[in-house]
C-alpha cells in the first residue's frame, strides 16, 4: 500500500472505527476481513454485545440495519444494490429494498434553516405553509410514497421542496474514499471477488451518489424529460421553480396521485393495473430507444398515478445518458 493511501486511511480513522463498531454490533466482523480492515476487528468485537446471545436477525437483515445506522452514503449504496439482482441473491435485494422507506426524518426546523440559508430569506417568506410531516430520502428529505412534503408558495402554488440534509457532501466524500479503498482490498482478500469488478462497481456507486447531491443538475434533468414528453399528455413531469431552488434546495410542482405500489388504492380508484404496468414500462422503453437519456431510478416510489390517469414521474437525481451502443 502506498503512502498516499495510508495517509488517507489514517485521516479517516474515526470513521473506520465507527464502521467497525456498527459491523460488530450486527455481528458482521467477517466483512472487515473482506475489505482489508482486519486491524479494526478488536474494536468490532468490543461492541458486538453479549457473544453468547443468539443472533435473531438473518445476515441480509443485519446488513440492512448496519447500512441504515451508517447513514446517508451507505443507505444510498444499499438502495442502489437493492436493484442489482445480477450481483446479489434475492434475499439480500429484498431486504435492501426496505431502505427505500425506512429512514427517519430530521426535525423540520433544521430543514427550514437550510432553506433560509440557501435562498437568503426566511422560509416563511417563500412558503405560506410548510408541512411538519415529511418523507425521507437518503440524501435529502422530500416525500415518502403516498405522503408528500407539500409546501404552498406565497402565490398559492402547491409545490414539493427537496432539501439536502446537513453535512451530506462532506460525509459522502469521506465514505467514497473508504468504499473505494475497501473495494481494492476486497479484490485481494475475498475469493468471491474474482467474479466481479469490485473496483468498477464501487466507482459506479460513488459516481451515482455524487451526482445526486447536485440539485441544480437534477432540475435540469427534469426539464429535459418535460421537453421529451411534451407531446404525451398522459405523462406528467413536474415543473421546476428556479427562483426557489439551489444546489441544496429543489422546489418543484407537486404531483398528486397514487403511488404505483399502493395496489389497494389503485384498485379502489378503479385503475386497470395491467394497463398501468404496460404504460409504465413504455415510459422507459421510449427514453432508452428514442431519447438521449433515461431515468435510472425506476423504483415504485418515483411513479404516481394521478386522478385523471396521467403517470407522474419524479426524482431525477439518477439519470444516465444513452447512445446507439447502449441501445443495441
SS3 of 67-115: the string is HHHHCHHHHHHHHHHCCCCCCCCHHHHHHHHHHHCCCCCCCHHHHHHHH
Contact 66, 25 (CB under 8 A): yes
Structure confidence by residue, pLDDT tens digits, 146-188: 233 456 666 777 888 889 988 888 889 999 999 988 888 888 8
Distance of CA 6 to the CA centre of its chain: 30
Contact 160, 315 (CB under 8 A): no
pLDDT confidence of residue 136: 64
Task: Compare 104 and 257 and report the one with higher pLDDT.
Answer: 257
Bridging pattern class, strands 140-141 and 158-164? antiparallel
Bridge partners, residue 160, by sequence: 150, 252
pTM: 0.76
Q: Which of 46, 20, 49, 43 is nearest to 32 (CA)?
A: 20
**Catalytic-residue membership of 297:** yes
Give the span between the Cα atoms of 95 and 101, in whole angstroms: 12
Question: Residue 170: which H helix or E strand, with range?
Answer: helix 168-189
Split at pLDDT 50, 70, 90, the class of 294 is very high
Contact 154, 128 (CB under 8 A): yes
Per DSSP, the three-state class of 151 is: strand
Give yes or no for residue 189 having a pLDDT over 90: no
Give the span between the Cα atoms of 252 and 39, in whole angstroms: 47
Question: Residue 301: which H helix or E strand, with range?
Answer: none
Contact 5, 181 (CB under 8 A): yes
Structure confidence by residue, pLDDT tens digits, 109-147: 888 899 899 999 888 888 877 765 555 666 766 522 223
For cell 426535525, name the residue. 107
Give the span between the Cα atoms of 26 and 70, in whole angstroms: 12
Average model confidence (pLDDT) for the chain? Answer: 82
DSSP class of residue 272 equals -
The one catalytic residue in 297, 315, 323, 324 is 297
Contact 63, 95 (CB under 8 A): yes
Task: Compare 155 and 263 and report the one with higher pLDDT.
Answer: 263
Burial 229-251 (b: 16+ CB within 10 A, else e): beeeeebbbbebbeebbbebbbb
Structure confidence by residue, pLDDT tens digits, 39-80: 655 555 555 655 545 567 899 999 999 999 998 889 888 888
Contact 197, 215 (CB under 8 A): no
Amino acid at each position: 500500500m502506498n503512502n498516499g493511501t495510508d495517509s488517507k486511511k489514517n485521516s479517516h480513522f474515526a470513521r473506520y472505527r465507527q464502521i467497525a463498531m456498527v459491523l460488530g454490533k450486527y455481528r458482521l466482523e467477517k466483512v472487515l476481513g473482506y475489505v482489508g480492515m482486519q486491524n479494526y476487528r478488536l474494536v468490532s468485537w468490543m461492541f458486538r454485545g453479549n457473544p453468547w446471545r443468539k443472533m435473531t436477525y438473518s445476515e441480509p437483515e443485519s446488513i440492512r440495519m448496519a447500512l441504515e445506522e451508517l447513514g446517508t452514503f451507505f443507505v444510498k449504496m444499499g438502495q442502489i444494490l437493492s436493484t442489482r439482482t445480477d450481483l446479489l441473491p434475492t434475499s439480500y435485494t429484498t431486504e435492501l429494498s426496505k431502505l427505500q422507506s425506512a429512514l427517519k426524518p430530521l426535525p423540520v426546523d433544521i430543514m427550514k434553516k437550510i432553506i433560509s440559508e440557501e435562498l437568503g430569506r426566511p422560509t416563511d417568506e417563500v412558503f405560506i405553509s410548510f408541512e411538519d410531516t415529511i418523507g425521507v430520502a437518503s440524501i435529502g428529505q422530500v416525500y415518502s410514497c403516498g405522503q408528500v412534503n407539500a409546501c404552498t408558495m406565497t402565490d398559492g402554488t402547491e409545490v414539493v421542496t427537496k432539501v439536502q440534509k446537513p453535512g451530506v457532501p462532506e460525509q459522502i466524500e469521506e465514505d467514497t474514499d473508504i468504499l473505494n479503498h475497501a473495494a481494492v482490498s476486497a479484490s485481494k482478500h475475498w475469493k468471491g471477488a474474482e467474479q466481479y469488478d469490485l473496483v468498477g462497481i464501487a466507482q459506479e456507486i460513488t459516481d451515482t451518489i455524487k451526482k445526486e447531491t447536485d440539485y441544480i443538475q437534477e432540475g435540469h434533468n427534469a426539464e429535459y424529460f418535460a421537453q421529451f414528453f411534451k407531446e404525451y399528455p398522459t405523462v406528467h413531469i413536474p415543473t421546476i421553480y428556479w427562483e426557489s431552488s439551489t444546489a441544496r434546495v429543489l422546489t418543484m410542482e407537486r404531483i398528486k396521485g397514487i403511488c404505483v405500489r399502493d395496489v389497494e388504492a389503485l384498485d379502489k380508484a378503479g385503475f386497470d393495473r395491467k394497463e398501468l404496468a404496460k404504460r409504465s414500462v413504455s415510459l422507459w422503453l421510449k427514453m432508452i430507444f428514442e431519447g438521449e437519456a433515461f431515468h435510472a431510478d425506476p423504483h415504485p416510489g418515483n411513479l404516481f398515478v394521478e386522478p385523471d390517469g396521467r403517470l407522474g414521474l419524479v426524482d431525477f437525481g439518477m439519470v444516465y445518458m444513452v447512445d446507439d451502443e447502449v441501445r443495441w
